[in-house]
Chains A and B, each alone.
Chain A
Amino acid sequence: MYNFDFEKPSTIADAVSALGSEDAQALGGGQTLLPTMKQRLASPSKLVSLKGISEMQGICTADDGALCVGGSTSHADVAAGAGAYPGLAALAAGIGDPAVRARGTIGGSLANNDPSACYPAGALASGAILVTNTREIAADDYFQGMFTTALDEGEILTEVRFPVPEASNYQKFEQPASRFALVGVFVAKYAGGVRVAVTGASEEGVFRWTEAEAALSGNFSADAIADMAPGEDGMISDLHGTAAYRAHLVGVLTRRAVTAAA
């Protein structure tokens, strides 16, 4: 690990200011960034911890019924406190292991946008609003490919607002080594239609499987998407599975998620 400065501000304004210096980097739970730094693959000049900002902590319900999760809320806290959105609570409860869930934050995960992370599927399938210190971004506009988001340099993800669906479920098929999602599928059924978001599978990162959404919006049952799978073009192919296997798993897991949710 290279030397760096460290700040732990207590307000969003102070954090924004601290992030103004060159090569400064926001730190959530550090579950990705710190191992990367230990391997000398990242060298921020300054880490600005967002864990000391009380207004970015915790879970509440907005007037419109949306579940609002502060950007620095840990996975363990979402698992325990997001009872109003059981599908999301279950997703959080399945991330990593207890140590990861105690430290890792929703904001950190969504800002990093690992192509195999769980939260991007939950946020995209929910049509969540990602609130930053300067604006609100719709999930459909936020995820822009592997490790890429709409966030600007120094912009802080302060809160995520999840419209609560009528029914939802997240199915994760674990990569055997890392236990990240080899493929993960989040299905959310809203009055206006069904949204299906897939993580782990695509070289472009999390994506919506619109064919399945269309079929499920008319008939929310596994039968509606029997034998369906997305094309294998653009799917990740690696040691743990070919593109064809991942495409196949998307179909399997979506059917399982629908069955579990219905």
Chain B
Amino acid sequence: MPKDSGIGASPKRREDVRFLSGTGNYTDDIQVNGQAYVHFLRSDIAHAKINGINLDAASAMPGVIKIFTGADFEGVGGIPCGWQVTDRHGEPMQEPAHPVLAQGKVRYVGDQIAAVVAETLEQARDAAEAIEVDLEELPAVVDMKAALADGATKVHDDLTSNLCYDWGFVEENKPAVDAAFEAAAHVTTLELRNNRLVANPMEPRVAIGDFNRATGDSTLYTTSQNPHVIRLLMGAFVLGIPEHKLRVVAPDVGGGFGTKIFHYAEEAFCTFAAKALNRAVKWTSTRSEAFISDAHGRDHVTKIELALDADNNFTALRTDTYANMGAYLSTFAPSVPTWLHGTLMAGNYRTPLIYVNVKAVFTNTVPVDAYRGAGRPEATFQLERVVDKAARELGVDPIALRRQNFITEFPYATPVAVEYDTGDYHGTMDALENMADLSGFEARRKASEARGKLRGFGVNCYIEACGIAPSNLVGQLGARAGLYESATVRVNATGGLVVMTGSHSHGQGHETSFPQVIAEMIGIDESMVEIVHGDTANTPMGMGTYGSRSLAVGGSAMVRATEKIIAKAKKIAAHLMEAADADIELKDGAFSVAGTDKSVAWGDVTLAAYVPHNYPLEDIEPGLEETAFYDPANFTYPSGAYACEVEVDPDTGKVTIEAFNAADDFGNIVNPMIVDGQVHGGIGQGIGQALLENAAYDENGQLLSASYMDYAMPRASDVPFYGVDHSSQTPCTHNPLGVKGCGEAGAIGSPPAVINAVVDALRSGGHDIHHIDMPVSPSRVWQAMNG
């Protein structure tokens, strides 16, 4: 019998009412009295020296308030990077300056040359066209390997080269790994590219800077996944505003997928300009602008090698990856190809020896940073592709080869620094095999062949590290921030609760799922709980939402605060019932004395807390409000097994997804409907990456797919109805809810299944193909089939 409330129930998402009825409050909905508008003049050349900027004509245009250039930001801080990676020789990464507006050079198509603030947006755009910029074009560096060649043009003249870092992990393992390859009975090698993506949240980025001359306070309204992080980075490193004079508000946010984690120059500009002009300044990205100013994702070029012994046991893994950083280091860019990627290379397997090398490279392209999965999709894709290729080379069943090498004992310390607490990889594979109807596949393949189509089946596993993570560990790894989460639980006199969380919801459904946890703990109706997030003025310092961390870390902070509330409420109840604290039980929203029929309602206790006429004032304070900061002991490790069935039209190369099944182990689940939705969305994005999406640059650094005319987003008709199973549950051992995180799994687990299926289909048609790079567009498939 499904529950209708509390943990495990699937109440409909309460926030959807306002999202679907047009009553949400997104950043662009905010109108600050007297606001002016900014339009950024962006470079249309990938790499150029700025010889001069003439603002005379533009400044005289109607409505222009002021035009800013890089010169206005001399002495102002640059956009900081939040993670410092140390290379394999012990040296810190090369870290270029990242000015708010370009100084001296532009380094990618989209780099901000000037900012026009005017009374209206159209006036700002008109004036921007009248700015005369003297750009001296320089050779553009686009290809990563060419960027590292001797004599390559440097993106940053003051760095020694275009190499950000050369990272080895675990460096001490390298000789043993190399020796294992020497001794291997079989080595499978695969070279591949993890295609560059544009996140494309439905809501483009928006920033409004406001300044209160009376108080000297600055406010930034912004489309952010983590307003406190923006406040810290922008206040401390860019503009020099102490946190008590700076408020950052991220109201309803229409999707982030990682690209709204980062601190962007536009945010700093609007905050800066509002103070300089004593006017609120608003910027709303156009969709075209988003393509060349939102941080991109992925863009790895990898060679991976898997060594096996004569019994098909994995003995070693070695990878060599080039990771594109773009022109500047976005907030968490250095961590993505390293600590979020190298640490996951063991996957679900007992491979004892692993060495990962990553060279991060500057190019004249949009900065690249975390995008749904962030490093883990890149790790999973290469690992699951090379395992599949190994199975084909060895003539063994891909599922059997995986099962043979599964980790089965937990906790399990991998050779790449992380320790998996729980998992049941055979369990998720069993669930997958049940869903995917493997026994019926040959009949389906024959039916496809009768229609002139090639049918393929692809499977893969994934492991991810979520709930990032212990602050002391990430500090050692180079994070320049803590990664705890916070919650304040405020109980009102009449019994309702407000949870002020440091997590941020931009589609995840926290306003629905978080109250389910509180309702379960106290035994009250979910409607009595309100979730407040996204405003540094009324939430405790929190680190925000990314890396599938909200419930595991933010939810745990909320549980800890609620536990404090319950402990205090029990003391009050004990006083009211003249019983000992230890005898008080809380059940179904009422406190009772064990072994008696004495009971007081939740509301009686909360009222007593605020109207303390009959109250143990000598022992406890009035009021009922508690805060907790939760810093987890470890990452969480969701895992799963995914399967994809495709049809390929051999005449055109077009791939259609005929079936997609996903078996995940997310530990305990609070709202199964929301979890299903997260998996559906993630798979949709993964299928998008595998079949459709491609942020492609030409050799001059022009983005070829800079609009929806050329950048293919997945649409409803591109994806099937998914099979989703969460019956395999091994609860996380170290957080109070036993939850693991589900936000990124679909995007991590789905691309290799798609490509494995396409390769399977083509091979069934007699084509000796081992790999096609994503996206497997019709033309690429046809090209592969026709040499």
Interface residues of A (CB under 8 A from B): 1, 39-40, 173, 176-178, 180, 182, 238-242, 245, 248-249, 252
Contact = CB atoms under 8 A, between A and B. Distances in A.
Given A176-B691, A178-B709, A241-B777, 13 more contacts: A39-B288, A40-B125, A173-B654, A176-B692, A177-B709, A180-B709, A240-B710, A240-B779, A241-B778, A241-B779, A242-B783, A245-B779, A248-B786
Q: Lowest 6 CB-CB distances: which A-B pairs, in order?
A: A177-B712, A241-B779, A176-B712, A178-B709, A245-B779, A252-B651
Contacts of B237: none
Nearest to B654: A173
A242 B651 CA distance: 15
Nearest to A3: B122
A238 B709 CA distance: 13
A173 B783 CA distance: 16
A245 B779 CA distance: 6
A91 to B, nearest CB: 19
B458 to A, nearest CB: 20
B602 to A, nearest CB: 51
Contacts of B712: 176-177
Q: Which of B653, B711, B777: most chain A CB closer than 10 A?
A: B777
Given A176-B778, A177-B712, A245-B783, A239 B696 contact: yes
Contacts of A177: 692, 705, 708-713
B68 interface: no
Nearest to A251: B651
Contact of B710 (A1, A239, A249): A239
Contacts of B710: 177-178, 239-240
A239 B694 contact: yes
Contacts of A249: 652
A252 B712 CA distance: 23
A240 B778 CA distance: 8
B26 interface: no
Contacts of B691: 176
Contacts of A248: 782, 786
Contact of B708 (A40, A178, A239): A178
B782 to A, nearest CB: 6
B450 to A, nearest CB: 16
Nearest to A255: B651
Contacts of B129: 40
A40 B128 CA distance: 12
Interface of B: 122, 125, 129, 288, 651-654, 691-692, 694, 696, 704-705, 708-713, 777-779, 782-783, 786
Nearest to B708: A177
Contacts of A239: 694, 696, 704-705, 710
Nearest to B710: A177
A173 B654 CA distance: 9
A241 B62 CA distance: 46
A229 to B, nearest CB: 12
Contacts of B125: 40
B160 to A, nearest CB: 34
A252 B652 contact: yes
Nearest to A241: B779
Contacts of A240: 710, 777, 779
A249 to B, nearest CB: 6
Contacts of B704: 238-239
28 contacts: A1-B122, A40-B125, A40-B129, A173-B652, A173-B654, A173-B778, A176-B712, A176-B778, A177-B705, A177-B712, A178-B708, A178-B709, A182-B778, A239-B694, A239-B696, A239-B704, A239-B705, A239-B710, A240-B710, A240-B779, A241-B777, A241-B778, A242-B779, A242-B783, A245-B778, A245-B779, A252-B651, A252-B652
Contacts of A242: 779, 783
Nearest to B691: A176
Nearest to A116: B709
Q: Which of A39, A176, A178, A248: most chain B CB closer than 10 A?
A: A176
Contacts of B786: 248
Q: Which of A182, A245, A252: most chain B CB closer than 10 A?
A: A245
A245 B653 CA distance: 10
A1 B778 CA distance: 36
Nearest to B692: A176
A147 to B, nearest CB: 15
Nearest to A177: B712
B696 A245 contact: no
A1 B786 CA distance: 46
A242 B653 CA distance: 13
Nearest to A246: B779
A177 B653 CA distance: 16
Contacts of A238: 704
A40 B286 CA distance: 13
A239 B653 CA distance: 15
Nearest to A249: B652
Q: Which of A1, A40, A178: most chain B CB closer than 10 A?
A: A178
Q: Which of B122, B694, B710, B779: most chain A CB closer than 10 A?
A: B779
A257 to B, nearest CB: 13
Nearest to B653: A245
Given A242-B783, A252-B651, A176 B709 contact: no
A261 to B, nearest CB: 18
Contacts of B708: 177-178
Nearest to A38: B286
Nearest to B704: A239
B326 to A, nearest CB: 20
Q: Which of A39, A177, A178, A252: most chain B CB closer than 10 A?
A: A177
B622 to A, nearest CB: 59
B554 to A, nearest CB: 37
A1 B286 CA distance: 13
Contacts of B711: 177
B362 to A, nearest CB: 24
Contacts of A173: 652, 654, 778
A240 B704 CA distance: 11
Contact of A176 (B122, B777, B782): B777
B786 to A, nearest CB: 8
Nearest to A253: B652
A252 B452 CA distance: 13
B709 A245 contact: no
Contacts of B705: 177, 239
Contacts of A176: 691-692, 712, 777-778
A60 to B, nearest CB: 34
Contacts of B654: 173
Nearest to B125: A40
A177 B692 CA distance: 8
Contacts of A180: 709
A79 B708 CA distance: 25
B478 to A, nearest CB: 36
A248 B705 CA distance: 24
A237 B752 CA distance: 28
A252 B711 CA distance: 25
A245 to B, nearest CB: 5
A29 to B, nearest CB: 18
